[in-house]
Amino acid sequence: MLRLHQSSPSTSSSSSSSEKNLMEQKQSSALLHHRRLYQEQTNSWHNQDTRHVDLLSAVDLSHHFPYHSIPKPEWQCNSSSLINREKRKAQFDMEENSENIVEAEEEKSEITAKTEMETSGNTCSKESSKVSEVQKPDYIHVRARRGQATDSHSLAERARREKISKKMKCLQDLVPGCNKVTGKAGMLDEIINYVQSLQKQVEFLSMKLATVNPRLDFNVDDIFAKEIPAYISSLQAAQFEATCLHYNTMQQGTSNCGGDISLDQSQMLPHNKAENALLDPSFISQLQQLSGWESDWPSLFNAGFH
């Protein structure tokens, strides 16, 4: 995934691809071989190198600006020519802005690199114009957004977060009553409640089937299979309402079902209540022991399943 993000918009020459390979190698062994990093940084500047250097500086010294904390080894290693130094200085100024962003992000989460979109958004507002120029030098072919760091860890994190938010939106469509709640935690709560109520519904229905059909024969499988989808929406809504009354799990669900329920419900509910009354004393105690899907698989199961 790292490679995808870094190489897809690129028109990579051989040198840049070799640099990318260098970058990836460094990530895997960065903290252990920081000496090598110092030397390699002189040859080519990347945001990742400075990020690793940031980590070291943060760990070793304090939360200084990175280049301030590591002037000596860099200039010492770079004893070769003045040209390099001038180039480095020019790049130094340009890099300052992006480094601020990187460091701000790094300060929040040192090792786990769970950077927040908001910090990048805040820094984006400060230094938007400058950063947009800096973010796209010639040999870093990373499609980064304005004001956001381009090191691969935060890229990966950002991609992962986007994936998760996309899927949360899909789940939002599935779960009724999720439109009011926003944010990850509330959504997860709703989803968990919904799954639990669905599972309890299944158990309730199987319990009903157990008591209600001791003698019936379902010989005509195919006819059933075709007729079944025809009796769907009103029954489901009515049953759902019944189970909500019975279990009191989905408080929001009842308010949703109240809008959906058709006229059949008024006839269905008294029947359900009658059945519930009959079933209650016998099975309530057993129901309370029920948990999710992992509750016991009895040996009787072999009898039921082929």
Partner 1 sequence: MTDHKNHQIPTAKPSSIKTRFAIKFLRAMNKLNNKNKNNKNTMSEKHKRFLAIRAAAHASMASAVGPRRAWSRAVLRKIPNQQKQLHYSLMNKQRTRRRNIRRNRILLITRGNPNRENYDHEENEDEDEEEEDLRELVPGGKEMDFCRLLNETAHYIKCLRTQVQVMTNILHHSSPSNILYK
Which of 133, 296, 120 shows the shortest CA–CA distance to 203? 296
DSSP calls for 134-202: HT--TT----PPTT----HHHHHHHHHHHHHHHHHHHHHHHSTT-SS--SHHHHHHHHHHHHHHHHHHH
Smallest distance from partner 1 to CB 236, Å: 5
By CB under 8 A, what part of segment 139-178 binds partner 1?
156-157, 160, 163-164, 167-168, 170-171, 174-175
Residues 253/176, Cβ–Cβ less than 8 Å: yes
Rule CB under 8 A: is residue 114 a binding residue for partner 1?
yes
By CB under 8 A, what part of segment 239-278 binds partner 1?
239-240, 271, 274-275, 278
Query: How many residues line the site for partner 1 (CB under 8 A)?
Result: 85
Which of 229, 212, 220, 235 shows the shortest CA–CA distance to 283? 212
Stretch that binds partner 1, among 32-40, 69-77, 86-94, 212-220 (CB under 8 A): 212-220
The C-alpha atoms of residue 276 and residue 230 are separated, in whole angstroms, by 25
Q: Which is nearer to partner 1, 138 or 296 (CB)?
A: 296
Smallest distance from partner 1 to CB 120, Å: 16
Q: Which is nearer to partner 1, 90 or 210 (CB)?
A: 210
Stretch that binds partner 1, among 73-81, 125-133, 193-201, 249-257 (CB under 8 A): 193-201
Which of 268, 273, 269, 283 shows the shortest CA–CA distance to 211? 283
Smallest distance from partner 1 to CB 304, Å: 4
Residues 49/43, Cβ–Cβ less than 8 Å: no
Two tokens, residue 99? 């480094």
Two tokens, residue 10? 């690129």
Q: Applying CB under 8 A, which of residues 62, 125, 138, 304 lies at the interface with partner 1? A: 304
Rule CB under 8 A: is residue 61 a binding residue for partner 1?
no
By CB under 8 A, what part of segment 66-105 binds partner 1?
none
Rule CB under 8 A: is residue 32 a binding residue for partner 1?
no
Which of 151, 171, 197 shows the shortest CA–CA distance to 2? 151
Q: Which is nearer to partner 1, 77 or 198 (CB)?
A: 198
Q: Applying CB under 8 A, which of residues 10, 132, 199, 252 lies at the interface with partner 1? A: 199
The C-alpha atoms of residue 153 and residue 50 are separated, in whole angstroms, by 13
Rule CB under 8 A: is residue 138 a binding residue for partner 1?
no
Rule CB under 8 A: is residue 31 a binding residue for partner 1?
no
